[in-house]
Amino acid sequence: MSAEPTPFAQVDDMPPQIRALILGALERMAASPEIQRVRRVAQAALDPRPGQRLLDVGSGVGEVARQLAAAVAPDGEVVAVDASAAAVAVATDRHDGSAVTYAVGDITALDFPDASFDGVRTERVLQHLADPDAAVAELARVTRPGGRVCLVDTDWTSVAGDGLPDDLVDAIWRAVPARQHHPTMGRTLRGRLVRAGLAEVRCEPVPLWFTDPESASAVIPVFNKEIPREAGIIPDELRDRWFAAVDAAAARDEFLAVLTIWVAVGVTPARTRPA
Ligand SMILES: C[S@@+](CC[C@H](N)C(=O)[O-])C[C@H]1O[C@@H](n2cnc3c(N)ncnc32)[C@H](O)[C@@H]1O
């Protein structure tokens, strides 16, 4: 597995143009009906209740935190933490007056005491980390006994489709995973929660599907023509042929792309006090 950090692991270190593209991509994803479907499954798994204090880590531009604030109203609150100061600035800009506070922080070293939240979640963050299990342990640490830890992540190896030449698809997908820390993250979430000692662990695969490249491009970067060549998502020598094939599939109305995002949840056990 490559240890090369992904752009999402270092948003603030990206050139301004790429940073703006990344943050814009998060807003586009939030608007995708398929991502909204994943988030409904995740919200049911986290099961927010009025009065609770919740944490969303790697909160991006903050829409989920704001949705959760509505679920814990009138006297609950949500904390949204992201490693990127630029993401936190956009999230703060989008603030709607609900009970959300935004902060910069690292999922592997959270600045909160043990058991400070009734529930915590993280969405499409673990795939970008060098040590995702350290992050899961940290999420469990800050959750009160009996509280829920909800993980959402993509299985990039599940991407499949129709309408495009097999050899081209193979070449593109051979190139893409090399840039990711953990392409299989989604399907490993359940095991990670079990190994971290959570109880009542459940998981659910949510298949996303797209019948046009425009909607697919909000979620699957290889279909996004706006991502510049320099980002290196698509090998330069394949780029023109790739997008010509994607356009041709769309023109024939044969374009199909699917991928699976997993939602997993577990309950934090009572802590045993050291003797
Ligand atoms: C793919 S985005 C997902 C954002 C948001 N959860 C969503 O679903 O739209 C990954 C986010 O994780 C943040 N991130 C990356 N590494 C992090 C870390 N070590 N601690 C906290 N956040 C991190 C990035 O800044 C980015 O906002």
Q: How many whole angstroms separate alpha carbon 35 and alpha carbon 32?
A: 5
Question: 247 CA distance to ligand 1 centroid (A)?
Answer: 31
Q: What is the pLDDT of residues 110-127, one digit of tens each?
A: 999 999 999 999 999 999
Closest by alpha carbon to 172, among 214, 231, 233? Answer: 233
Q: What is the pLDDT of residues 159-205, one digit of tens each?
A: 999 999 999 999 988 887 566 789 999 999 999 999 999 999 999 99
Q: What are phi and psi of 71, to 5 degrees?
A: -75, -25
Higher pLDDT, 6 or 13: 13
Report the pLDDT averaged over residues 138-148: 98
Question: 60 CA distance to ligand 1 centroid (A)?
Answer: 6
Pick the residue whose CA is nearest to atom 12 on ligand 1.
58
Q: Map out the domains of the chain as residue ranges.
A: 7-267
Checking if the pLDDT of 272 tops 70, the result is: no
Q: What is the dihedral of CA 58, 63, 69, 70, to 10 degrees?
A: -150
Fold of the 7-267 domain = Rossmann fold (3.40.50)
Checking if the pLDDT of 258 tops 50, the result is: yes
- When the pLDDT of each residue in the chain is averaged and rounded to a whole number, the result is 93
39 in contact with ligand 1, CB cutoff 6 A: no
13 sits in which H/E element: none
128 in contact with ligand 1, CB cutoff 6 A: yes
8 in contact with ligand 1, CB cutoff 6 A: yes
Q: How many whole angstroms separate alpha carbon 160 and alpha carbon 153?
A: 17
Report the pLDDT averaged over residues 14-32: 91
Q: What are the tokens at 93?
A: 């800009």
Contact 235/173 with Cβ under 8 angstroms? no
124 in contact with ligand 1, CB cutoff 6 A: yes
* pLDDT at residue 1 in the model: 43
* pLDDT at residue 178 in the model: 60
Q: What is the pLDDT of residues 46-58, one digit of tens each?
A: 999 999 999 999 9
